[in-house]
């Protein structure tokens, strides 16, 4: 089987269930669902590592609603583990790769080996393939989209009805492979462009005006990540509150600096950092360690550094950075650690009561909502204000990221073939 996810129809799903020897992980999703799109790179990585041990199928429930009805799915994304026609387990919501693999193992579908694709290397051509006309066409069209308000922000790439996230809008596709093939820019740059949150024409111009053809942009995404992870405005040491994890962040920055100056760190140093970071992840999803667990997971993903052509790896990295940034923004707005944990605690509270009742009726769900809201009225006011003012409050950190990436793009050296 191909080591990738497979888009299935209602007909082909039946064929896979009837004929496949390996377990099937069925992902029920829809294009408009942001958590579904956020989960997509994780499922791609899972399929890559699983190889022949697991078949990962994706069914668009808008296009094939009968599949959703067949499995009585209320919310998406929902993943259903199947062996033939037998359902073994199901899991809802966006999940990290580590939890997905643990969940699969607990339900009889362990991923024992890693059947990875061939090692990817740095992109072997300059920006825009050295074609000035291609650059001018893409940049001009991108500015028109920005002027018309077509560019939006999201933690996953989006391209729908002529609108989308930065990288998707640039090439009119949310596919990382299409981004690289159409633009001649490294796949790692796509999630980096989306991460900085540039939407209007001024912000788009800041990124693209000084971007030259034939430049080597293989390190641009890494430079942005370095800048973000060392930004003093984030109060890293204080907000993490875990000296060991903060020291790993500093160690990673030092190793990256060595790598950027052509002094490649020993593989053993990367491995030691990766193992130490993995030990600090948050496998039990403690609501009070969300930021710490996400940063630890991010450090494992970039130790050692992924190739600039590995778009899926960089997409997962910047999605993790996006979730960390949400917590950092809350901290900058004087949210306490307890308040930052409260949304996850709320979710756990509802799930616990739903399990105890064997499922919520509409009336029971409404009663529990009213109870939780009454008991947490002060937090609810603060949360609503945070989301209402999110765009304005996110402006400052976004502008810092835009400036950092713009500088990396403008100062990129010319590409020199090896």
Name the catalytic one among 33, 199, 256, 324: 33
Q: Is the pLDDT of residue 3 over 90?
A: no
C-alpha 407/C-alpha 411 separation (Å) is 6
33 has catalytic annotation:
yes
**Which range has the top average pLDDT, 71-85, 114-128, 139-153?**
139-153
Pick the more confident residue, 405 or 416. Answer: 405
Q: Is residue 1 part of a domain?
A: no
Residue 53 DSSP symbol:
G
Rounded distance between C-alpha atoms, residue 353 and residue 299, angstroms: 35
Asked whether residue 192 is assigned to any structural domain, the reply reads: yes
Q: Which of 157, 181, 208 is the last residue of a domain?
A: 208
Residue 165 reports pLDDT greater than 80: yes
The predicted-structure confidence for 192-237, as pLDDT tens digits, reads as follows 999 999 999 999 999 999 999 999 999 999 999 999 999 999 999 9
pLDDT at 337: 95
Decide if 18 is inside a domain: yes
Backbone angles phi, psi at 29, to 5 degrees: -145, 180
Task: Assess if residue 119 is contained within a domain.
Answer: no
Domain boundary, last residue among 106, 136, 156: 106
Domain count, the chain: 3
Q: Are residues 228 and 198 in the same domain?
A: no
Residue 42 counted as domain residue = yes
Query: Could you tell me if 230 and 295 lie in one domain?
Result: yes
Q: Spot the catalytic one: 36, 199, 256, 324.
A: 36
| Same-domain check for residues 263 and 137 | no
116: in domain? no
Instruction: Mark whether 333 and 272 lie in a shared domain.
Output: yes
pLDDT at residue 131 tops 60? yes
Q: Which of 312, 309, 311, 310 is nearest to 125 (CA)?
A: 309
Q: Provide the domain limits for residue 284.
A: 212-418
Listed residues 74, 106, 138: the one ending a domain: 106
- 280 and 408: one domain? yes
CATH, residue 55: 3.40.30.10
202 with 233, same domain: the answer is no
Spell out the residues 6+ positions from residue 218 whose beta carbon is closer than 8 angstroms to its own: 122, 123, 186, 188, 308
Structural domain contains residue 115: no
Query: Residue 117 domain-assigned?
Result: no
The predicted model gives 102-113 an average pLDDT of: 82
Distance CA 235, CA 213 (A): 37
Residues 232 and 376 in one domain: yes
Residues 204 and 216 in one domain: no
CA 167 – CA 269 distance, rounded (Å): 33
Do 183 and 252 lie in one domain? The reply is no
The pTM of the full predicted model, rounded to 2 decimals, is: 0.82
Residue 36: active-site member: yes
pLDDT at 110: 85
* Residues 201 and 220 occupy one common structural domain: no
260 lies in the same domain as 342: yes
Q: Where are the alpha helices (DSSP H) in 51-131?
A: 65-70, 97-106
Mean pLDDT value of segment 95-109: 86
In this structure, the answer to whether residues 259 and 195 fall within a common structural domain is no
| 266 DSSP 8-state letter | P
Which strands sit side by side in the sheet containing 55-60, from one edge to the other? 6-7, 55-60, 24-29, 78-83, 86-92
């Amino acid at each position: 089987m191909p080591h990738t996810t497979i888009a299935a129809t209602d007909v082909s799903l039946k064929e896979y269930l009837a004929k496949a020897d390996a377990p099937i992980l069925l992902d029920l999703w829809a294009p408009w669902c942001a958590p579904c799109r956020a989960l997509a790179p994780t499922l791609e990585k899972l399929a890559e590592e699983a190889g022949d041990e697991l078949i990962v199928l994706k069914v668009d429930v808008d296009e094939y609603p009968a599949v959703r009805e067949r499995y009585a799915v209320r919310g998406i994304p929902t993943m259903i583990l199947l062996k033939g026609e037998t359902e073994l387990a199901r899991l809802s919501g966006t999940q990290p790769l580590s939890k997905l693999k643990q969940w699969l193992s607990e339900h009889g579908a362990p991923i024992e080996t890693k059947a990875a694709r061939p090692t990817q290397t740095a992109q072997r051509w300059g920006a825009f393939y050295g074609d000035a006309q291609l650059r001018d066409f893409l940049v001009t069209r991108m500015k028109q989209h920005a002027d018309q308000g077509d560019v939006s922000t999201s933690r996953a790439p989006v391209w729908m009805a002529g609108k989308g996230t930065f990288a998707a809008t640039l090439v009119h596709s949310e596919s990382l492979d299409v981004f690289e093939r159409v633009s001649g820019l490294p796949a790692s740059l796509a999630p980096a462009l989306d991460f900085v949150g540039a939407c209007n024409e001024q912000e788009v111009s800041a990124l693209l005006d000084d971007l030259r053809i034939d430049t080597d942009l293989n390190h641009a995404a890494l430079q942005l990540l370095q800048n973000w992870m060392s930004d003093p405005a984030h109060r890293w040491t204080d907000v993490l509150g875990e000296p060991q994890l903060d020291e790993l962040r500093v160690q990673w920055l030092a190793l990256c600096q060595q790598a950027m100056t052509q002094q490649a760190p020993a593989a053993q140093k990367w491995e030691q950092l990766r193992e130490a970071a993995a030990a600090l992840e948050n496998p039990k999803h403690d609501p009070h360690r969300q930021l710490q667990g996400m940063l630890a997971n991010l450090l494992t993903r970039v130790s050692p550094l992924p190739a600039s052509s590995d778009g899926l790896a960089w997409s997962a990295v910047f999605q993790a950075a996006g979730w960390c940034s949400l917590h950092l923004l809350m901290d900058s707005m004087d949210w306490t650690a307890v308040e930052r944990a409260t949304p996850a605690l709320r979710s756990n509270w509802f799930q616990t009561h739903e399990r105890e009742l064997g499922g919520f009726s509409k009336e029971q769900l409404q009663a529990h909502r009213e109870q939780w809201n009454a008991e947490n009225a002060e937090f609810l006011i603060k949360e609503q204000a945070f989301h209402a003012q999110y765009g304005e409050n996110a402006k400052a950190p976004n502008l810092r990221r835009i400036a950092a990436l713009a500088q990396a793009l403008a100062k990129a050296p010319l590409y020199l073939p090896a």
